[in-house]
Structures are given as structure tokens and as C-alpha cells.
């Protein structure tokens, strides 16, 4: 199944806790450098870059609406880098229809000022967060000094008590009453005072454990987008999606033909919601499915402001797994969005699989594989895995749009 490719991997999201805030300008430069690091793949048709560009801007606008300025800026900058600096280097650039180029130029005229404005907003945001982080560090140091001062005061108090106890013990051992003159001539028996409390770091550390030091809440700090320690956003799917798809595919399934569809939806409160199942014009065989007139899908998504979240297809006689062709098909989706999923429905075995390429190995391996058709791949390390970020919602609504010409 054909689907547009992306020029680079999607931005990965990280936890926002325990992040060191760097200098604002250095932070912005790192973000800009990351966004501009685009390599043009001459094996990918230029039309797919133009189609990917449309979805990049739609996604960036959704990030803006969701107040995720970092991700929006990255996508705007990637778009500018591709279509201002890179696309003309493509050997098939002249094959791009003139209307696509003109539409792209119109988009550029709005995106460039957006990116400049966003750059200023980010710099102001980073400056505020940087100053706040410095204040947090000062407060942390103040609390630390305050705690040390309390420890010193406590040790001095204990030392005084120990000294006083030693003096009292010495007095209690002297039972003979002597005159002042005799007192000067005789030595009064004494007991060595108890050793003073040690101020070693071990005791300070132990005392620190017994007392809670107020902590600084860093949950408001932004994450470093380029970090490898990323987490995928939840993908929320209507529970009835698979049942509706299998009913729609029933005729093909009984004739031992695969059926495929596109999962589309929106970004809302940092969750990806599948709201539409789009069925393109297609022909199926027992082990493959090829789509046609994909512009119908694109037009529908453009009209309803939908982003592509993955795809779904049947295995009429086999179990739920990803074949070598499926892996290459899904690679295009996951290069565009890290959370993109591939759903495989195997009605004969009553199985449904939710899959994604392994980001640490499978995605790069398949992206660099130049084989076509069905061909063997290594099984270790695994190229794909279960998509654990998928969440089924029985209350979620779904719209099924069948664009096949009857």
C-alpha cells in the first residue's frame, strides 16, 4: 500500500521532569539545528515530499493549538528547510506539477513569518524558564545552607549538654568536703568528659535523612526534544473500529482478498485520537492490497483537517503479523509520526494485532532496506513490536468514509 514518505523521523517526546535548563540562546540554537538537519532522499518521489509538507503544516498548527511551541517550531523549520533549500536538489524536481509548487509557495509565505514570530516567543519562554531555574537553584542552595545551620546549632546544643553532664558527674564523685586552702593543695578526682558529638559528614548525612528538605518542583520545565529517552503519546482508538472495518471488509475476506484503510484523526491535549476510518480505492489479493486515487484521501483529510495516524488491513487466511511488505508500508507512516500504528485483523484466527516498528532498530533497518516485494528479514533483534501506547475507548466516536467507486 502506497503512502507518502517523510524526510526525517518525527520529534520524540520526553519526560518533563529533572531537566537541566540551558542558556536560552543555546537552547534555541540546538532546536533550530535539529529542525534544519534534513537529508533529501533521491529515491523518494518529490511529490511525496510535497504531500508530507501539507501534513507537516497541519500537524504544526495542531501543536500550536495545543500550546506545544517546541514541536510546532521544529515542523515549521523543517518545512522551510525542505522547500526553500533542499527540494530543488531532487533530480525529479521538474516532474512536480506546477499547481503543487504554487500552493507550496503560498504556504511558505505564511509559514516563514509564523516561524519568526514563534522563534521570538520561544526565546522569551526559554529566558523566563532559565531565570526561574536560576532562582530554583538559589532557593535550593539557601535551603541547604539553612539545613546545615540547623545541624550546627543542634550539635552545639548537644555539645553543651554533654559538657554540663560531664561537670556534674565530676562533682558527684567528690564526697569529701575540703577548705579552699586544701582544695588548692589537693587534686579533686575527676572523670574525663564524654567526647563531643562528631561533626563528620556521616552524621550530617544521617541527620539530613531524618529531616525532609523541601524539594523543587521541576514538572513545569520543558523537555529536551532531541533526547533518546522518549515516550510515545497515547493513541486513542474507538473500540468499534475493528468490528466496523471487518464488516466493511467481509465481502473481500470471503473471497480471500485483503482490505486496507487509513486511520485519521486529530491531536488533542497531547493525545492522538482516531476519529475517521478512510477506505481508498483498492484492489486486493490473498497477501497484498494496492490503493489507487489516493488524492481522494488527501482531499478528504484537507477538507476535514485530519492528520494520518496509521493504517489497518486484513489477513483473510493468516494470523496477525507484519509481513516484509507490511513493514515497508508501515515505515512510511512511522517516519512521519513516531506513534503511527499498523493494525492487522485476522478474522479466521479471531486475532487483532496493534504493531509499530521498534524505534531503536526496526525503523532504521527498514528505512535503509532497498529490497522490494516479499523478501526475508532478520528476526533478531525484532523489527516490530506490539504498540503499547494504543488505548481503546468504548465511548469514542468513529466516522467511516468509504471512497471506493462502486
From 115, 139, 163, give the residue that closes a domain: 139
Are residue 131 and residue 27 in the same domain, yes or no? yes
Q: Is the pLDDT of residue 177 over 90?
A: no
From 139, 162, 190, give the residue that closes a domain: 139
CA distance 207 to 157: 15
Are residue 112 and residue 246 in the same domain, yes or no? no
276's enclosing H/E stretch is strand 271-279
In a domain, 310, yes or no: yes
Are residue 274 and residue 390 in the same domain, yes or no? yes
How many domains does one find in the chain? 2
Q: Specify whether the CB–CB gap between 27 and 227 falls below 8 A.
A: no
In a domain, 170, yes or no: no
- Average of pLDDT values for 143-154? 87
Q: Specify whether the CB–CB gap between 57 and 305 falls below 8 A.
A: no
Are residue 256 and residue 395 in the same domain, yes or no? yes
Report the chain's terminal Cα–Cα distance, integer Å.
Answer: 20
Quote the domain boundaries for residue 24: 19-139
In a domain, 279, yes or no: yes
Are residue 131 and residue 251 in the same domain, yes or no? no
Q: Specify whether the CB–CB gap between 23 and 31 falls below 8 A.
A: no
Q: Looking at residue 37, which CATH number applies to its domain?
A: 1.20.58.80
% pLDDT > 90, the chain: 52
Burial class (CB in 10 A: 0-12, 13-18, 19+), 381: exposed
Q: Specify whether the CB–CB gap between 197 and 179 falls below 8 A.
A: no
In a domain, 117, yes or no: yes
Q: Give this prediction's pTM.
A: 0.63
pLDDT at position 154 is 85
pLDDT at position 9 is 40
Q: Is the pLDDT of residue 6 over 60?
A: no
Local confidence band at 217 (pLDDT 50, 70, 90 cut-offs): very low
Are residue 398 and residue 290 in the same domain, yes or no? yes
CA distance 340 to 134: 38
CA distance 272 to 245: 20
- Average of pLDDT values for 108-127? 94
Are residue 383 and residue 255 in the same domain, yes or no? yes
Are residue 265 and residue 369 in the same domain, yes or no? yes
Q: Is the pLDDT of residue 131 over 70?
A: yes
In a domain, 100, yes or no: yes
Q: Is the pLDDT of residue 204 over 50?
A: no
Are residue 131 and residue 246 in the same domain, yes or no? no
Q: C-alpha cell of 21?
A: 535548563
> What count of other Cβ atoms lies within 10 Å of the Cβ of residue 198?
10
Q: C-alpha cell of 402?
A: 468509504
- Average of pLDDT values for 371-396? 92
- Say whether the peptide bond before residue 381 is cis (omega within 30 degrees of 0): yes
Helices 46-65 & 98-172 angle (0-180, nearest 10): 50
Q: Is the pLDDT of residue 156 over 60?
A: yes
Burial class (CB in 10 A: 0-12, 13-18, 19+), 30: middle
In a domain, 196, yes or no: no
In a domain, 377, yes or no: yes
% pLDDT > 70, the chain: 80
Please write the tens of the pLDDT for every residue from 19-40.
446 789 999 999 999 888 887 7
Count, in order, helices (H) and strands (E) of the chain: 11, 11
Q: Looking at residue 354, which CATH number applies to its domain?
A: 3.40.140.10
In a domain, 267, yes or no: yes
Which region holds residue 98: left if phi is over 0, alpha if psi is between -120 and 50, else beta?
alpha
From 85, 115, 139, give the residue that closes a domain: 139
Amino acid at each position: 500500500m502506497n503512502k507518502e514518505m517523510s524526510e526525517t523521523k518525527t520529534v520524540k517526546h520526553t519526560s518533563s521532569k529533572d531537566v537541566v535548563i540551558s542558556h536560552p540562546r543555546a537552547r534555541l540554537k540546538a532546536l533550530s539545528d535539529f529542525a534544519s538537519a534534513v537529508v533529501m532522499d533521491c529515491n523518494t518521489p518529490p511529490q511525496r515530499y510535497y504531500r508530507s509538507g501539507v501534513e507537516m503544516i497541519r500537524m504544526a498548527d495542531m501543536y500550536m493549538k495545543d500550546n506545544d511551541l517546541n514541536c510546532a517550531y521544529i515542523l515549521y523549520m523543517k518545512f522551510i528547510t525542505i522547500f526553500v533549500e533542499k527540494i530543488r536538489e531532487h533530480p525529479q524536481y521538474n516532474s512536480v506539477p506546477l499547481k503543487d509548487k504554487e500552493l507550496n509557495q503560498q504556504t511558505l509565505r505564511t509559514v516563514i513569518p509564523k516561524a519568526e514570530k514563534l522563534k521570538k516567543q520561544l526565546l522569551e519562554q526559554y529566558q523566563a524558564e532559565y531565570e526561574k531555574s536560576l532562582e530554583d537553584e538559589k532557593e535550593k542552595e539557601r535551603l541547604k545552607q539553612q539545613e546545615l545551620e540547623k545541624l550546627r546549632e543542634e550539635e552545639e546544643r548537644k555539645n553543651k549538654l554533654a559538657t554540663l553532664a560531664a561537670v556534674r558527674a565530676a562533682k558527684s564523685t567528690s564526697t569529701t568536703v575540703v577548705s579552699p586552702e586544701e582544695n588548692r593543695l589537693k587534686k579533686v578526682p575527676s572523670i574525663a568528659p564524654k567526647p563531643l558529638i562528631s561533626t563528620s559528614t556521616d552524621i550530617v548525612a544521617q541527620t539530613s535523612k531524618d529531616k525532609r528538605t523541601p524539594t523543587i518542583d521541576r514538572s513545569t520545565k520543558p523537555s529536551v526534544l532531541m533526547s533518546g529517552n522518549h515516550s510515545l503519546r497515547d493513541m486513542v482508538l474507538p473500540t468499534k473500529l475493528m468490528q466496523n472495518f471487518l464488516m466493511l471488509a467481509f465481502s473481500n475476506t470471503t473471497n480471500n482478498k485483503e482490505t486496507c484503510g487509513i486511520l485519521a484523526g486529530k491531536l488533542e491535549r497531547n493525545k492522538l485520537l482516531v476519529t475517521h476510518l478512510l477506505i481508498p480505492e483498492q484492489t486486493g489479493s490473498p497477501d497484498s492490497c494496492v490503493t489507487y486515487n489516493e488524492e481522494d484521501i488527501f482531499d478528504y483529510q484537507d477538507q476535514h483537517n485530519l492528520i494520518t495516524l496509521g493504517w489497518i488491513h486484513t489477513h483473510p487466511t493468516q494470523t496477525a503479523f507484519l509481513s516484509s511488505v507490511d513493514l515497508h508500508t508501515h515505515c512510511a507512516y512511522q517516519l512521519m509520526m513516531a506513534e503511527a500504528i499498523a493494525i492487522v485483523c485476522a478474522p479466521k484466527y479471531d486475532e487483532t494485532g496493534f504493531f509499530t516498528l521498534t524505534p531503536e532498530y526496526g525503523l532504521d533497518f527498514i528505512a535503509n532496506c532497498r529490497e522490494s516485494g516479499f523478501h526475508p528479514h532478520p528476526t533478531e533483534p525484532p523489527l516490530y513490536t506490539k504498540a503499547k501506547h494504543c488505548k481503546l475507548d468504548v465511548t469514542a466516536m468513529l466516522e467511516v468514509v468509504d471512497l471506493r467507486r462502486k
